[in-house]
């Protein structure tokens, strides 16, 4: 039982050390970058480094809060021996940051409480909180909550609007319709849908005319395309190779109203 | 395509006194000067064209954008209201039907503007690399007797319509946004107006002498700026 | 006064010469020895050059002193009256007032001078056209009424004239607020552009219908140039300060007779043309057409 | 644009065209005119091809006085329709060559010196039908006036003073119907066309 716990502790400590080392190297890399590449360093890569750091921090805190991690709080570190002499092994371990394990350094390094300054500050705040009356505190909390919900509302509203706008921008079809374009272009170009009702005296050379007339009113795109006027057929058939040079000739050959 | 009477108000008759007074040489015959103009390729007889449409409720957005993009920023868009009549001269010569299309356009909102006679040739779509339709076009300002003239010449009125809308200018480019209406019976436009679509026709065109293909690229770039409101494209209406 | 100014100018001139010559001295000193002093005895040459220059400066200085001693010192400070306080004005937009004040003073001064000259000339050459025969009180009254007439009165007169002839149409514009410029179309013959000053006709130009409405360019057709000349004569003839309305009315009557400018022959020679012009003169009383040479 | 009267000038037997022009030039210069360049009025005639049915004729005229303008006159037999266009109409007529063909040998032109004297402008044109000299047309324009009725007498007096008794005392037939109307450049063209038609007929008679 104890052995298992010990093993667990060991592995947990190993992984923690690994994470901390990762964190350390990435901090070092960042410091190096700031110091040496400050001329070429751009904001996005700097932010990327931050993201890396925060990733490491999250994974570290994950390990610490993991189930299998033994409750470190319950363990104590006991300095067995203090000596004012230089300890080579320690120096190597700490990259020459800590050379002696002496009585003046140990309390700082093995401290489990907050830093004295921070501790002071915390004390002050707690004291202040304790003195505030309950009703007052309640009021403040309510006001604070109100502000937060209000901002939340604003943000979500704006988001909704953006969503609608971007979706509206997404379908461009709303602004123009292909069938309308075709309708207008053929109307202006060939008079489709614009021709008067064929005159009764029926000029010779206009037999196709009556068939060309589109249905009255606004012809839907389906009917407009479904009905292939005979003249269009002949036109596409006659659509001569581009070798035709004179405009008159080519125009006459493909003109739908010819005989 | 929308060269309304208003769009190109060229008054045909100009006094020659200033031109001629100091010129002691025999004036060239008009034919000669036309031939030389043709040879030196300065007659704008090619039209580069892109077409598209915009649904009625978005036309204001488009106009707003055009106002920003085009040259006439300060005075806003110029409006026009034109009546276009499309004639054709047909005959059968030894089995071959010959058709010669002619269009007459006049400004209904500016009665003193000259009429505009127009011949539009065959469209050339070209391959994918060519950004616009190109077609030959001859624009002639003329007097109001043109309608009777054409009718007596043997032309037949194929169809007619009115176009009412806005015109913009951007360098050499002309952008028209117009509502196309069918003319009611009779020769009185303005009565029995019948809309043919719930969209505005949008056209981007340039008249240039042949060989000015660089302008087509400019037009493509400009058309790109109007997306996705309007998709200006090469449309072969003869295939539709 | 005149002499003072002259002397002042002379003194200023002397100072200017002095300054420029002193400039030469400094220039030469700062340049030091130059190549054109040559090799031999260059120091001596330089020194002589300096001496010459300094002598000129000395002479100039003497001139300046002479000129200054000739000057009479101004008798105390100028009395600017209340305008002195203007210089103490602190608000930004009013600081320019002093300059404007000086300008307007200059103008009034000039006007005074010119009107004195004009008054002198007019005194020696009396003109019958003026209203000398009228009594003093009447003159005062009419004098104000011809130049300074309320716009609606002018408007009434113009529209009355407009109604006078059917083939004469009048359009009015007022580019200079009170004083209208009217454009008279006389049938299809010509148009006249007439500028008024109050009820007095100030300027007339006759043009073809196709020409611009600009009042200062004359017609490019000789016939209208001639008619313009004649109408200036008529304008002076019909000038009646005491009865301005009648003057304008008679001028319009006379102008209306040009409706037959091209169609009626000369009363005297019975021809249409004389030196390629139709009869451009209309008799002031009978309104009969004459060639300029036949009248 | 003032009122213009076009007048045929008879050529006396012993004179040639150029010498007659010279004579007239001397006369007008003696009157005090200065030469202001040359002028040219030409006319080309297109006829419809038989397939289009009843024969129609389009006369296309240019006047150097209005160099950017093309005047066309369509004759259908019953109607005469004038059309005024800008210069590119010629290009359109070329395109229409399948329907309307020009008869080359009927090209008529009148060209010669142009003078100004006072407000008159005078043009002495020698008329040629397909390069053959046919006669002389004198054009007199009185520029300040726009209504023929008002200045006909005046122009007639000028013409008689300059051309002598060959000038009739009645206005040209074309103008007689339009005496009270405002004169337009098209009226000048119509007068030229009338004269050209006469010359052309005489050309084909020979």
- Tokens for C265, please give them: 């022959």
Q: Provide Rg for chain B, Cα atoms.
A: 19
User: In A, residues 153-192, which contact B (CB 8 Å cutoff)?
Assistant: 169, 172, 174-177, 180-191
Distance from the D165 Cα atom to the nearest Cα atom in chain B, whole angstroms: 30
Distance from the B19 Cα atom to the nearest Cα atom in chain A, whole angstroms: 35
Percent of chain A with pLDDT over 70: 72
Whole-number Å distance between alpha carbons of C237 and C141: 22
- D39 and B38 within 8 Å at the Cβ level: the answer is no
**Contact yes or no for D45/D204 (Cβ under 8 A):** no
Higher pLDDT, A166 or C113: C113
Nearest-by-Cβ selection for D150 from C189, C221, C224 = C189
Whole-number Å distance between alpha carbons of D143 and D183: 11
Q: Which residue of B has its CA nearest to D67?
A: B16
For residues A84 and A56, state if they share a domain.
no
Does residue B16 sit in helix, strand or coil?
coil
Average pLDDT, chain B: 79
- Tokens for B132, please give them: 């616009």
Q: What is the SS3 assignment for chain C?
A: CHHHHHHHHHHHHHHHHHHHHHHHHHHHHHHCCCHHHCCCCHHHHHHHHHHHHHHHHHHHHHHHHHHHHHCCCCCCCCCCHHHHHHHHCCCHHHCCHHHHHHHHHHHHHHHHHHHHHHHHHHHHCCCCCCCCCCCHHHHHHHHHHHHCCCHHHHHHHHHHHHHHCCCEEEEEEEEECCEEEEEEEECCCEEEEEEEECCEEEEEEEECCCCCCCCCCCCCCHHHHHHHHHHHHHHHHCCCCCCHHHHHHHHHHHHHHHHHCCCCCCCCCCCCCECCECCCEECCCCCCEECCCCC
Residues of B in contact with D58 (CB under 8 A): 153
Using alpha carbons, select from C253, C259, C262 the residue that is nearest to residue C285. C253
DSSP state of B104: E
**Contact yes or no for B206/B214 (Cβ under 8 A):** no
For residues A50 and A62, state if they share a domain.
yes
The residue range of the domain holding C53 is 2-70
Q: What is the SS3 assignment for C85-153?
A: HHHHCCCHHHCCHHHHHHHHHHHHHHHHHHHHHHHHHHHHCCCCCCCCCCCHHHHHHHHHHHHCCCHHH
D3-54 pLDDT, tens digit per residue, is 999 988 888 777 888 888 998 999 899 988 999 899 999 999 998 888 877 8
DSSP state of D128: E
Residues of B in contact with A187 (CB under 8 A): 161, 180, 196-197
Characterise B94 by phi-psi region: left (phi > 0), alpha (psi -120 to 50), beta (else). left
* Separation in Å, CA D87 to CA B7, B15, C166: 18, 14, 41
**Contact yes or no for D41/D59 (Cβ under 8 A):** no
Measured between its terminal Cα atoms, the distance across chain B in Å is 19
For residues A59 and A85, state if they share a domain.
no
- Tokens for C77, please give them: 């400070």
Residues of D in contact with C265 (CB under 8 A): 153
- A248 and B98 within 8 Å at the Cβ level: the answer is yes
Q: By a Cβ cutoff of 8 Å, what residues of chain D touch chain C?
A: 1, 31-32, 117-120, 142-147, 149-151, 153-154, 157-158, 161, 182
According to DSSP, the β-strands at D108-117 and D100-102 are: unpaired
For residues A94 and A126, state if they share a domain.
no
Cβ neighbours for B181, distance < 8 A, ≥ 6 positions apart: B161, B162, B163, B164, B193, B194, B195, B196
The residue range of the domain holding A10 is 2-75
Chains A and C touch (3+ CB pairs under 8 A): no
Looking at residue D41, its pLDDT comes to 93
Cβ neighbours for A248, distance < 8 A, ≥ 6 positions apart: B98, B100, B121, D95, D98
Q: Which H or E run contains B85?
A: strand B78-93
In the structure, what pLDDT confidence band is assigned to residue C41 with cuts at 50, 70 and 90? confident
Interface membership of D51 toward A (CB under 8 Å): no
Pick the range with the lowest mean pLDDT from A161-165, C69-73, D144-148: C69-73
H helices within B13-144, ranges in order?
17-20, 30-39, 59-69
Task: Answer yes or no: is A148 within a domain.
Answer: yes
Q: Which residue of D has its CA nearest to A252?
A: D98
Nearest-by-Cβ selection for A188 from B121, B122, B180 = B180
| Number of structural domains chain C divides into | 2
Residues of C in contact with D147 (CB under 8 A): 188-189
Is the pLDDT confidence value at A101 over 70? yes
Using alpha carbons, select from B99, B102, B175 the residue that is nearest to residue D85. B102
Task: Answer yes or no: is C87 within a domain.
Answer: no
Domain end position, chosen among C19, C53, C70: C70
Cβ neighbours for C191, distance < 8 A, ≥ 6 positions apart: C183, C184, C185, C206, C207, C208, C209
Q: Percentages helix, strand, coil for chain A, rounded to the nearest 5?
A: 65, 0, 35
Q: Which residue of B has its CA nearest to D121?
A: B17
Task: Answer yes or no: is C92 within a domain.
Answer: no
In the structure, what pLDDT confidence band is assigned to residue B73 with cuts at 50, 70 and 90? low
Measured in degrees and rounded to the nearest 5, phi and psi for residue B109 equal: -95, -5
Looking at residue C77, its pLDDT comes to 65
- B43 and D88 within 8 Å at the Cβ level: the answer is yes
Which of D1, D60, D87, D116 has the highest number of chain B CBs within 10 A, making it the mutation to test binding with B? Answer: D87
Whole-number Å distance between alpha carbons of D89 and D66: 14
Which of D119, D147, D153 has the highest number of chain C CBs within 10 A, making it the mutation to test binding with C? Answer: D119
Q: How far is CA C255 from the centre of its chain?
A: 28
Is the pLDDT confidence value at A69 over 90? no
Nearest-by-Cβ selection for B121 from A176, A187, A251 = A251
Whole-number Å distance between alpha carbons of A227 and C267: 83
Domain end position, chosen among C70, C93, C124: C70
For residues A66 and A88, state if they share a domain.
no
Looking at residue A236, its pLDDT comes to 39
Residues of A in contact with B53 (CB under 8 A): 176-177, 180-181, 184-185
Cβ neighbours for A172, distance < 8 A, ≥ 6 positions apart: B227, B228, B229, B231
Task: Answer yes or no: is C119 within a domain.
Answer: no
- B156 and A218 within 8 Å at the Cβ level: the answer is no
Domain end position, chosen among A75, A92, A126: A75
Whole-number Å distance between alpha carbons of D185 and D194: 15
Task: Answer yes or no: is C95 within a domain.
Answer: no
For residues C167 and C256, state if they share a domain.
yes
What are chain B's domains? 48-225 (2.40.320.10)
- Tokens for B134, please give them: 């190109």
Looking at residue B185, its pLDDT comes to 52
Interface membership of B15 toward D (CB under 8 Å): yes
Cβ neighbours for C41, distance < 8 A, ≥ 6 positions apart: none
Q: Chains contacting C with at least 3 CB pairs below 8 Å? A: D
C166-210 pLDDT, tens digit per residue, is 888 888 888 766 778 889 998 888 999 998 887 888 889 999 988
Characterise C78 by phi-psi region: left (phi > 0), alpha (psi -120 to 50), beta (else). beta
User: In A, residues 75-134, which contact B (CB 8 Å cutoff)?
Assistant: none
Is the pLDDT confidence value at A239 over 70? no
Task: Answer yes or no: is A44 within a domain.
Answer: yes
Interface membership of A78 toward D (CB under 8 Å): no
Distance from the C209 Cα atom to the nearest Cα atom in chain D, whole angstroms: 9
In the structure, what pLDDT confidence band is assigned to residue D96 with cuts at 50, 70 and 90? confident
For residues A45 and A99, state if they share a domain.
no
Whole-number Å distance between alpha carbons of D174 and D176: 6
As beta bridge partners, residue D120 has D117, D142
Domain end position, chosen among C39, C70, C101: C70
A189-205 pLDDT, tens digit per residue, is 887 777 765 444 434 43
Distance from the D48 Cα atom to the nearest Cα atom in chain B, whole angstroms: 9
Q: Chains contacting B with at least 3 CB pairs below 8 Å? A: A, D
Looking at residue A72, its pLDDT comes to 76
In the structure, what pLDDT confidence band is assigned to residue A220 with cuts at 50, 70 and 90? very low
Which of A167, A185, A236 has the highest number of chain B CBs within 10 A, making it the mutation to test binding with B? Answer: A185
Chains C and D touch (3+ CB pairs under 8 A): yes
As beta bridge partners, residue D118 has none
Looking at residue B22, its pLDDT comes to 39
Q: Which residue of D has its CA nearest to A249?
A: D98
Task: Answer yes or no: is C90 within a domain.
Answer: no
Whole-number Å distance between alpha carbons of D47 and D103: 8
**Contact yes or no for C288/C267 (Cβ under 8 A):** yes
Q: Which H or E run contains A124?
A: helix A116-131
According to DSSP, the β-strands at B46-55 and B133-142 are: antiparallel
As beta bridge partners, residue A139 has none
Interface membership of A228 toward B (CB under 8 Å): no
- Tokens for A163, please give them: 């969503």
Higher pLDDT, D85 or A190: D85
B86-124 pLDDT, tens digit per residue, is 998 888 766 677 888 899 999 988 888 899 999 988 888
**Contact yes or no for D99/B91 (Cβ under 8 A):** yes
For residues A9 and A43, state if they share a domain.
yes
According to DSSP, the β-strands at B199-208 and B78-93 are: unpaired
- B152 and D72 within 8 Å at the Cβ level: the answer is no
Which of A176, A216, A244 has the highest number of chain B CBs within 10 A, making it the mutation to test binding with B? Answer: A176
Using alpha carbons, select from C205, C225, C217, C235 the residue that is nearest to residue C278. C225
Whole-number Å distance between alpha carbons of C292 and D118: 15
Higher pLDDT, A87 or B10: A87
Task: Answer yes or no: is A38 within a domain.
Answer: yes
Whole-number Å distance between alpha carbons of B69 and B73: 8
For residues A69 and A19, state if they share a domain.
yes
For residues C166 and C60, state if they share a domain.
no
Residues of D in contact with C221 (CB under 8 A): 119, 143-144
Interface membership of D104 toward B (CB under 8 Å): no
Distance from the B201 Cα atom to the nearest Cα atom in chain A, whole angstroms: 6
- D91 and B138 within 8 Å at the Cβ level: the answer is yes
Average pLDDT, chain A: 73
Residues of D in contact with C218 (CB under 8 A): none
| Number of structural domains chain A divides into | 3
For residues A102 and A130, state if they share a domain.
no
Task: Answer yes or no: is C100 within a domain.
Answer: no
**Contact yes or no for B202/B53 (Cβ under 8 A):** yes
Is the pLDDT confidence value at A1 over 70? no
- D157 and C273 within 8 Å at the Cβ level: the answer is yes
Distance from the C177 Cα atom to the nearest Cα atom in chain D, whole angstroms: 33
Percent of chain A with pLDDT over 90: 11
Is the pLDDT confidence value at A207 over 80? no
Looking at residue C145, its pLDDT comes to 56
* Rounded average pLDDT over A97-111: 79
Residues of B in contact with D98 (CB under 8 A): 93, 98, 100
Task: Answer yes or no: is C93 within a domain.
Answer: no
Whole-number Å distance between alpha carbons of D5 and D141: 6
For residues C174 and C286, state if they share a domain.
yes
* Rounded average pLDDT over D122-129: 92
Q: Chains contacting D with at least 3 CB pairs below 8 Å? A: A, B, C
């Amino acid at each position: 039982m104890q052995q298992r716990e010990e093993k667990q502790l060991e592995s947990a400590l190993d992984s923690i050390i690994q994470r901390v080392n990762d964190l350390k190297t990435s901090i070092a890399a960042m410091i190096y970058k700031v110091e040496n590449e400050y001329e070429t360093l751009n904001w996005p890569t700097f932010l990327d480094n931050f993201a890396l750091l925060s990733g490491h921090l999250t994974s570290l805190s994950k390990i610490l809060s993991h189930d299998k991690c033994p409750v470190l709080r319950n363990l104590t570190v006991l300095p067995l021996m203090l000596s004012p002499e230089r300890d080579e092994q320690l120096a190597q371990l700490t990259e020459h940051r800590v050379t002696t394990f002496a009585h003046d350094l140990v309390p700082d390094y093995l401290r489990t409480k907050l830093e004295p300054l921070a501790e002071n500050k915390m004390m002050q705040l707690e004291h202040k909180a304790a003195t505030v009356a309950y009703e007052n505190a309640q009021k403040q909390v309510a006001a604070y909550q109100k502000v937060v919900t209000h901002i939340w509302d604003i943000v979500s509203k704006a988001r909704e609007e953006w969503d609608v706008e971007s979706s509206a921008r997404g379908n461009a079809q709303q602004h123009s319709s292909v069938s309308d374009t075709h309708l207008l272009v053929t109307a202006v170009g060939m008079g489709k849908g614009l021709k008067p009702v064929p005159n009764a005296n029926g000029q010779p050379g206009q037999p196709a005319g009556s068939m060309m007339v589109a249905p009255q009113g606004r012809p839907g795109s389906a009917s407009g395309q479904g009905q292939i006027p005979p003249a269009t057929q002949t036109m596409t058939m006659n659509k001569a190779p581009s070798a035709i040079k004179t405009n008159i000739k080519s125009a006459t050959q493909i003109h739908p109203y010819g005989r | 395509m929308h060269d309304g009477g208003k769009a190109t108000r060229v008054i045909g008759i100009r006094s020659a006194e200033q031109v001629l007074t100091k010129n002691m040489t025999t004036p060239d015959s008009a034919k000669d000067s036309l031939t030389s103009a043709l040879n030196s390729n300065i007659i704008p007889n090619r039209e580069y064209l892109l077409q598209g449409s915009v649904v009625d409720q978005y036309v204001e957005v488009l106009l707003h954008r055009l106002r920003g993009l085009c040259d006439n920023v300060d005075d806003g868009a110029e409006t026009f209201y034109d009546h276009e009549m499309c004639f054709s001269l047909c005959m059968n010569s030894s089995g071959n039907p010959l058709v010669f299309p002619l269009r007459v356009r006049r400004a209904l909102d500016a009665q003193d503007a000259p009429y505009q006679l127009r011949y539009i040739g065959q469209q050339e779509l070209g391959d994918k690399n060519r950004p616009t339709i190109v077609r030959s076009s001859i624009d002639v300002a003329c007097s109001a007797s043109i309608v009777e003239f054409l009718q007596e010449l043997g032309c037949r009125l194929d169809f007619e319509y009115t176009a009412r809308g806005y015109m913009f200018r951007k360098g050499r480019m002309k952008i028209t946004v117009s509502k196309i209406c069918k003319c009611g019976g009779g020769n009185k436009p303005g009565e029995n107006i019948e809309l043919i679509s719930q969209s505005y026709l949008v056209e981007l065109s340039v008249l240039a002498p042949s060989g000015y293909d660089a302008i087509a690229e400019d037009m493509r770039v400009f058309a790109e700026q109007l997306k996705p409101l309007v998709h200006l494209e090469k449309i072969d209406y003869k295939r539709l | 006064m005149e002499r003072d100014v002259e002397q002042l100018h002379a003194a200023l001139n002397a100072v200017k010469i002095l300054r420029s010559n002193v400039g030469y001295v400094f220039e030469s000193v700062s340049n030091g020895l130059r190549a054109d002093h040559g090799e031999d005895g260059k120091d001596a040459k330089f020194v002589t050059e300096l001496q010459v220059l300094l002598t000129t400066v000395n002479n100039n200085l003497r001139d300046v002193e002479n000129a200054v001693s000739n000057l009479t010192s101004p008798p105390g400070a100028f009395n600017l009256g209340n305008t002195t306080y203007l210089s103490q004005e602190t608000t930004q937009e009013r600081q320019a007032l002093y300059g404007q004040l000086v300008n307007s003073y200059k103008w009034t001064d000039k006007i005074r001078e010119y009107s004195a000259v004009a008054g002198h000339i007019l005194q020696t050459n009396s003109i019958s056209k003026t209203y000398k025969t009228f009594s003093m009180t009447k003159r005062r009254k009419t004098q104000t009424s011809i130049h300074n007439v309320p716009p609606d009165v002018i408007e009434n007169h113009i529209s009355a004239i407009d109604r006078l002839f059917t083939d004469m149409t009048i359009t009015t514009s007022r580019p200079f607020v009170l004083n209208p410029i009217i454009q008279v179309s006389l049938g299809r013959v010509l148009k006249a552009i007439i500028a008024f000053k109050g009820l007095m006709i100030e300027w007339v130009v006759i043009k073809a219908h196709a020409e611009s409405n600009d009042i200062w360019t004359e017609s490019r057709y000789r016939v209208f140039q001639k008619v313009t000349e004649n109408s200036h004569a008529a304008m002076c003839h019909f000038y009646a300060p005491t009865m301005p309305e009648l003057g304008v009315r008679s001028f319009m009557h006379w102008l209306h007779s040009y409706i037959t400018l091209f169609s009626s022959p000369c009363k005297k020679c019975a021809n249409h043309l004389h030196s390629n012009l139709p009869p451009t003169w209309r008799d002031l009383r009978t309104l009969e057409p004459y060639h300029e040479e036949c009248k | 644009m003032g009122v213009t009267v076009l007048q045929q000038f008879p050529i006396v037997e012993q004179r040639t065209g150029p010498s007659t022009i010279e004579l007239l030039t001397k006369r007008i210069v003696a009157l005090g005119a200065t030469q202001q360049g040359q002028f040219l009025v030409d006319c080309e005639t297109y006829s419809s091809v038989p397939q289009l049915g009843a024969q129609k004729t389009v006369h296309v005229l240019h006047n150097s006085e209005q160099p950017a303008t093309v005047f066309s006159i369509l004759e259908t037999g019953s109607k005469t329709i004038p059309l005024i266009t800008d210069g590119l109409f010629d290009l359109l007529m070329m395109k229409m060559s399948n329907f309307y063909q020009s008869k080359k040998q009927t090209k008529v032109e009148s060209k010669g010196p142009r003078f100004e004297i006072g407000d008159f402008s005078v043009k002495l044109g020698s008329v040629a039908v397909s390069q053959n000299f046919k006669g002389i047309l004198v054009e007199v324009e009185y520029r300040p006036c726009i209504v023929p009725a008002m200045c006909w007498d005046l122009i007639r007096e000028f013409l008689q003073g300059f051309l002598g008794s060959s000038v009739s005392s009645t206005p040209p037939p074309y103008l007689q119907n339009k005496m009270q109307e405002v004169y337009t450049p098209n009226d000048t063209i119509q007068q030229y066309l009338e004269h050209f038609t006469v010359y052309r007929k005489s050309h084909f008679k020979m």
